[in-house]
Structure 1
Amino acid sequence: MTNIPILFEDGEALVIDKPAGLPIERPRRGGASLEDHFEQLKLGFQRPPMPVHRIDTDTSGCLLLARNPKALKRFAKAFEDRLVEKRYLGVLAGVPSTSEGTIELSLSKISSAEKGWRMIAAKKGKPSITHWRVLAEIDGHALLEFRPETGRTHQIRVHCQAGLGMSLLGDPVYGNGKGAPRTMLHAAAIGVPRDGKPPIAATAPLPRDFTALGFVDGQD
């Protein structure tokens, strides 16, 4: 058995609870990655499962894997067509002035020799939409729920920094990296509709580093 928690399993899909700090693909410099677990995640199937989408190395929670190429193609199209429901939880390094809202900021990739690459809000970038609401406040930090309509790289992280004016706690790229051992973002739930079959639906429990700050996830 794999030590990666499995949240959903059927003949064409797995949803795993990816641990924070584990990259999906092998880093160029080497080291551990989710690829190390693909053999165990076969779970009796001939093929190893294939990630349908990406979440950041630091981000924990729901990751959808396809168990065959046809399923991979269908699930990828569901993401492309914005049919996938995604729910994220994040701890903000501050408290917003309002309790909920929608951020619409187009995103573009930039890079420099000193800082490497990052995403920025740019009018000519790719359209990006994130709905958010505050669930709780503790010690000057807010637990937010995010429901992104689009799935751009670093979307929630940049939308916090550029749209809300404060970064996620612990974010070393879009914030000061302080207050937490990692960027405090968790893929809490995923839902994928399927023709002729029940939808894929999975929920990942709140990680210990969130509960250590006093937060609980008691809302749908």
Structure 2
Amino acid sequence: MATSFITVDEVLAGERLDVAVSRHVEELTRARVQKLIAEDYVQVDGKPQKANYRLRAGETVEVTVPEVKPAEIAAEKIDLDILYEDQDVLVLNKPKGLVIHPAAGHAGGTLVNALLHHCDDLSGIGGEARPGIVHRLDKDTSGVMVVAKNDRAHLSLSRQFKAHSVTREYVAIVHGEPAVEQGTIDAAIARHPKERKKMALTTAEKGRRAVTHFKVLDRFGEYSYLALRLETGRTHQIRVHLSSLGHPVVGDPVYGYKKQKFKLSGQALHARLLGFNHPTDHRYLEFAGEPPEEFRRLLNLLRGKGEAQDED
């Protein structure tokens, strides 16, 4: 275990505990700090406090970082569509239906299981159940992801995501036609007050700011093909934002229409492009991934180039 001490001065006074620790212990992400706080590894004047505790001048914060536990997850041979790989990072095009990490109901067959089989080592900053995972895509959202193969790479990438300097572009097929060719949705998101597995729009005071830029690529009357760029990366952000406009993603079982014209295995949403600065040499890298066949077939059908068997 490693222990650090932070003396709260006038500058730090009033700061949230989790924010202060993540800034002063550089090797820790804020998510990791919050987990340490929840497990009482962070104490203020010898007492555990909550992550949102406001620090006071003169207090001493003790931060203990335990050794990362070996991941008790079985390595599984699962084919991965790898776009790029070196000693620091791995970039892949995640297929629809692949869960990112083990959780209730998904003990195996996840991306983490596949990564443990493919890689000799992965970063441990993400915690025992999430080695190498810097960011996530929903189970039924396909697209480009980057994985950290060591802690230094993980920290660098996490900082880029936090600073909103990572390029993230998606494409989606949605219901209806937006009134404008392009626009920005700037609306805070928080956990749904009644349905805990869902997210919802809320006020800036109660939620976290979420910004999505969109552009219409094609119109088909009842449907549209959109390009979307994330400025922030909240849970279900694109799906919630588009639904709030009255243009939910086709096939979305949570935020979309109950009756769907097309048979899809989840939402027609694909992360087609990801760009970031390499953790070691800082050169800008950008990767694009082809949407899954199901997505392409639907798009061709709407363009009048496909077969009608995709419909109910």
Asked whether the two chains share a fold, i.e. TM above 0.5, the reply is yes
Matches within 5 A, 1:23-172: 23-30=99-106, 31-42=108-119, 45-47=120-122, 50-112=132-194, 115-123=195-203, 124=205, 125-138=207-220, 140-162=222-244, 164-172=245-253
2:254 corresponds in structure 1 to 173
1:48-69 deviation line (CA, Å, top 9, x unaligned): 7611101111110111100101
Of stretches 22-31 and 184-193 in structure 1, the one that deviates more from structure 2 is: 22-31
1:82-126 deviation line (CA, Å, top 9, x unaligned): 1100000111022212111111011111253xx442111111311
1:39 Cα deviation from its structure 2 partner: 2.7
Q: Which runs of 5+ in 2 are unaligned?
A: 1-76, 124-130, 302-312
Matches of 1:51 and 1:126, distance apart in 2: 22
- Contact kept, 8 Å, 2:122 with 2:148, in 1: the verdict is no
1:210 corresponds in structure 2 to 295
- Contact kept, 8 Å, 1:170 with 1:182, in 2: the verdict is yes
Structure with greater proportional strand content: 1
Matches of 2:287 and 2:78, distance apart in 1: 18
Determine what percentage of the aligned residue pairs are the same residue.
32
Between 1 and 2, higher relative CO (CA 8 Å, sep ≥ 6) is seen in: 1
1:155-210 deviation line (CA, Å, top 9, x unaligned): 00011011x21210011111125233211110101000247432232110122111
Matches of 1:50 and 1:109, distance apart in 2: 26
- Contact kept, 8 Å, 1:136 with 1:215, in 2: the verdict is no
2:72 corresponds in structure 1 to none
- Contact kept, 8 Å, 1:143 with 1:215, in 2: the verdict is no
In structure 2, what residue type is equivalent to 1:182? G
Secondary structure of 2:98 counterpart: coil
- Contact kept, 8 Å, 2:177 with 2:221, in 1: the verdict is no
TM-score normalised according to structure 2 size: 0.63
Of stretches 62-71 and 193-202 in structure 1, the one that deviates more from structure 2 is: 193-202
Matches of 1:81 and 1:4, distance apart in 2: 29
Secondary structure of 1:176 counterpart: coil
2:20 corresponds in structure 1 to none
Secondary structure of 2:299 counterpart: coil
2:267 corresponds in structure 1 to 183
Matches of 2:290 and 2:184, distance apart in 1: 25
- Contact kept, 8 Å, 2:210 with 2:231, in 1: the verdict is yes
Of stretches 195-204 and 17-26 in structure 1, the one that deviates more from structure 2 is: 195-204
